[in-house]
Amino acid sequence: MKAAVLKSFGSPLVIENAPEPVLGTGEVIVDVVATRVLSYMNEVFDGTRNYALDLPIIPGPGGIGRVRAIGPDATKLGVGDWVFCDPTVRSRDDAVAPDIALQGLTAAGPGGMRLQRHFRHGSFAEQMRLPTENVKPLGAITSEDATQWCALGTLLVPYGGFLAANLRPGETVLVSGATGNFGSAAVSVALAMGAACVVTPGRNETILADLVRRFGPRVKPVKLTGHEDDDREAMKRAAPSPIDCVLDIMPPSVSPTVVRAAVMTVRPYGRVALMGGVGMAGGAGLELPYPWIMRNCISIHGVWMYPPDAASRLIALVRAGLLRLEEYEATAFDLDHANEAVEHAVANGGPFKLTVIRP
């Protein structure tokens, strides 16, 4: 099969013939039809992000495809079914604290690296092998639809944060990082889950205005000034009621003071989900006042990715018409132009932009 292979950090992907995956028990092989390219994939490939990857590897986290072959433990899937390939692979021998690898992207700890050595290769290829539980039925779609459905991979991340924060219909939410790729996805997901209002702080007034244009008056934009106390009060004033839940999904480049300003808008007994990159590139971490957390009974939840059933639940939101994949503007490349796709993703990584490879 044809695949794009990363052989060394800092080198371009090599397009070549690779061995087809071999089916094992508890596994499914999928013909990849479309797969998204992360806007920071170049930083993974050149080593800047220091992701744990045992090279050479076929990269690509998740994708949309059709079932090619199933193992004996699959009782609902059938050959030819349209599916979402969930890249969050979990070890099966510890349900309480499983090791995790993001197939085709990175792994966490020694256990995650062991997972990666088996479920090694991702979706920048004509075929990929996944654990049975990571193959999520989509229902009937067309080959053309597959490009748009790649947005699931972006939307799933903030959805996992809101599930962890137990977001309830009718609540007021603040998304820290609302003008970014994942942050704008968080706005659409929160509204689809029934949030009464989403406060969207940011510096880019054009993007803030676009969020209001897309989603209407339930979005409350706030132009940030960089002054922590002033910004915190502005965010509180923008909310029509006390802020029940804050989701932070800021990138590593952002100052922790910006994140702290947003986090500390939450009401007493409120919930905070941390999914961003504060401190990952070095520098100060997020410092929050102990007395404020304790006396206000604030729940702070660190979240990496999402629970195993999240993809199926998110697909149901799309099927119900509550979450619109049509918000995304997609640009597609074939596998021979995978390196060009990576460059395009870097230059076009804003809100509701999608770069896709169609093997």
- What would the mean pLDDT of 301-317 be, rounded to a whole number? 96
Percentage of the residues of the chain whose pLDDT score is greater than 90: 93
Average pLDDT rounded to a whole number, residues 97-122: 94
> What pLDDT is attached to residue 95?
87
Computed over every residue of the chain, the mean pLDDT equals: 96
* Distance separating alpha carbons of residues 35 and 44, to the nearest angstrom: 17
Average pLDDT over residues 27-39: 97
CATH number for the segment(s) 156-302:
3.40.50.720
Q: Which percentage of the chain shows pLDDT scores above 70?
A: 100
Best CA proximity match to 248, nearest among 303, 314, 294, 205? 303
Q: Report the pLDDT value the prediction gives residue 277, as an integer from 0 to 100.
A: 86
Confidence of residue 233 (pLDDT cuts 50, 70, 90): very high
Q: What single letter denotes the amino acid at residue 130?
A: L
Tell me, what's the pLDDT at 285? 85
Confidence of residue 306 (pLDDT cuts 50, 70, 90): very high
pLDDT digits (tens, 9 = 90+) for 123-138: 999 999 999 999 999 9
Report d(CA 330, CA 345) in Å as an integer. Answer: 10
- Report whether pLDDT(278) > 90: no
pLDDT tens digits, one per residue of 280-290 = 777 788 999 99
Homologous superfamily assigned to 2-151+328-358 = Medium-chain alcohol dehydrogenases, catalytic domain (3.90.180.10)
Is the confidence at residue 160, as pLDDT, over 90?
Answer: yes
Facing residues of 61 across strands? Answer: none
- Residue written as tokens 């054009």? 206
Q: What is the pLDDT of residues 166-182, one digit of tens each?
A: 999 999 999 999 999 99
pLDDT interval class at 49 (50, 70, 90) = confident
Is residue 222 within 8 A of residue 235, CB to CB? The reply is: yes
Q: What is the mean pLDDT of residues 292-309?
A: 96
Full DSSP string of 217-263: GGEEEEE--S-HHHHHHHHHHHSSS-EEEEEE---TTS-HHHHHHHH
Which pLDDT value is given to residue 304? 92
Q: What does each C-alpha distance from 114 to 22, 54, 89, 119, 120 come to in angstroms?
A: 18, 10, 11, 9, 9
The confidence band for 199, taking pLDDT boundaries of 50, 70 and 90, is very high
Over residues 143-149, mean pLDDT: 96
Query: What are the residue boundaries of the structural domains of the chain, listed by start?
Result: 2-151+328-358, 156-302
pLDDT band at 210 (very low <50, low <70, confident <90, very high): very high
